[in-house]
Structure 1
Amino acid sequence: MAIARHDRGTRADLRALGSQIHPVFMLPPLAASWFGAAVAGEFTLGVGALHMAAMFFAVYTAHVKDGYVDFYARGEDDDHPMTVRGCRVALVAAAVGFAACTLALGALVGPGGALVTLPTWVIGYLHAPQLDTNPLTTTLGYPTGIALAILGGFYVQTTTVSATILGFSLVFLVTLAGVKIIDDEKDYDYDRSIDKRTVSVALGRIRARRLATYLLFAGIVGVLWGTVSGLFPPFSPVGALAFGSIVLVARRSDPTLATMLLIRGAYVFLALLLAAVWFRPLSGVALVDITVLGPYTYLATEIVFGAVAFGLLVYANALRSAVRTIVVLYPIAYLWDWYTLEVGVFEIVMRTGYELFGIPVEEHLFMIVVPALVVGIHETLEKHARSSASGTGSRTQ
């Protein structure tokens, strides 16, 4: 029996085998493997190539198995380029290739190199029909594979696991989980008709999109945490900022466009983090010291953030809501602030020295700016949520 369904011959068989290499989903695990190696610093090309090849065979296994299950077992796909025998031959060949790479890593690196690599193939093989039938494993399968590729690429070079590589792996696990939720939203109607429990089906499209957005921003904040704590290079927030701007655009787009933007944004994210790790730009550059403003430093920051809060409130038409909130909150905040300053819990150094009713004048402004900023952000998000909900409703009618 032939490998290809629609033609005969060696070329047709090779085309059928090649059809299961999907660059959009294949390239990220390979790049993630090398990213892990880059985080390690100096690396051995041969070991890195072996780990990358193992990632290729793991993802290829997932593609072949998924196509086989969707066409031959579930009847979801309209066509498939490979015969049943062809799918089985491809799965065996990929398994043999993965086993060879994993055993070679075990011999060159040690048992840990093989153990950190093996789970990627297990995830790929079990993706369909075992892992893609419930919201948790459907969403986390591919992101977990990427996280393991990053971790494994680092481990096979160093035989250790650091807080930095764990941090990067977690950032991509969380971020790509958000992307996967939005990607699954594209098939919401069909998945719902066959009772396939993706996150969108389980939570509904609006709540699922909201959860995806939270995960995307959690990954971005994770980069900031890692940078401030010294785990990530100083240039890393540039990658987070670039990806965050794409998230802001994608969160209001339809699922197809949003997925396209986020996948390409994830490439940019990874590329900028790779540049941060490999070239170390901004290393040794000191933070901008605004204390040159002397006693007006604290006041200047309040003016800046107060202007942001005012802009958000005007945009969201929420000035009255902010005033009500501030009026109610102010007495509580005032007593709390006065007491903590009185007993010496904290001290404000860069201030004007002027006081009003027993506390620095800057603290009075602080008790206005912070609630105004909170209300401004909240009302802006609610405005966008209402807009997204009305847009989703119009598309599903």
Structure 2
Amino acid sequence: MSIFNERIDRRNTSSVKWEATKHLFGEEDLWPMWVADMDFKPPQAVITAIKERVEHGIFGYTFVPPSTSQAIAEWLLKRHQWSIEPNWLLYCGGVVQAISTAIQTFTEEGDHVLLQSPVYTPFFDMIEKNNRKIINAPLILDEDKYRIDFTAFENALKQGCKLFLLCSPHNPGGRVWIKEELEKIAELCLKYNCLILSDEIHSDLVYKKHKHIPIASLNEEIAEKVITFIAPSKTFNLAGLHASAVVIKNETLRTQFQETMRRQGSFSLNTFGITGMEAAYREGEAWLEDLLDYLQKNKDFAISYLKEHLPEITCIDSEGTYLLWLDCRKLGLSDKELRQRLLQKGKLALEPGPKYGPGGEGFVRMNIACPMDDLIEGLKRLKKAFE
């Protein structure tokens, strides 16, 4: 029996997913399949390492030790064939915080920042809340697969974009960008002197037959113009530990980023974030391989269920992440009507597509990183919502 079949009651743990759903969605008794965290325990090695740190009993000021940076470098080399130096790494409490820090560091108020919708909601928030201007080069949905409109992409860069926010793998669409696509992105960003901020938080969650390629690993020239964001939070379900890493090869950019962090009063990670991060990257690989097999079965089941019971809803067959992007446009309902059906009839909380910007209308996002029994319950509620 898979360890991922274990159903763990997350109530009374201040879980956003299980205890904040009523407040956020405004309905009682909702089944939560919205926010992107998993209902699985992390690798036992992580739990053991944190327990041992607790037993030590003193939790004073802590720095990130060289062993943590070395563990990350070894992980990136083994999993993604990306060779980095440990001193390229800086640390933030989370990827969104780090993206905001980069925007503050490398742009001024009013500067243009490029993204590709539909895309992870905080991309919009961090640009707007820092008083920068969003420039959008929307992705093209072609035969249930997102592709980059490079004509629109280049036209956007011509408007003087200082930064490009790349979501790789893509959230919510699940695309794992191939080498040729990444090379074209890099070529155009170099041509127009646009720095690339690459959010690669889902880089370890890629299904077989697909491969994540860090854009900074393409060549030395590109690496000098890329800032990469990674974290164990999605891979190992450690979001509550608030630990992420920023990979910056260019020493000048790295120093500038670090100075902004110092101005913000950010100097290190919390003790348990450091402990959990290192243990995960050192000892979590076997667990991750088992997880990917389990997620593949969940994904296959969900797609099959929809084809049989809800053929009007098309599932974008994701190449990475544990998120399903569901195309509900054939139902002929407005986004408001979709939301009402899901919440009031289905009692199911999913992320509404419009949150992800232009191109998200008529879609919803479902998190399938849960025990199979919970996935089945969610799919039944989805069916009930649209009967």
TM-score (norm. length: structure 2): 0.23
**TM-score, length of structure 1 as denominator length:** 0.22
Question: Which of the two has greater helix per residue?
Answer: 1
Q: Which has the larger radius of gyration?
A: 1
Larger relative strand fraction: 2
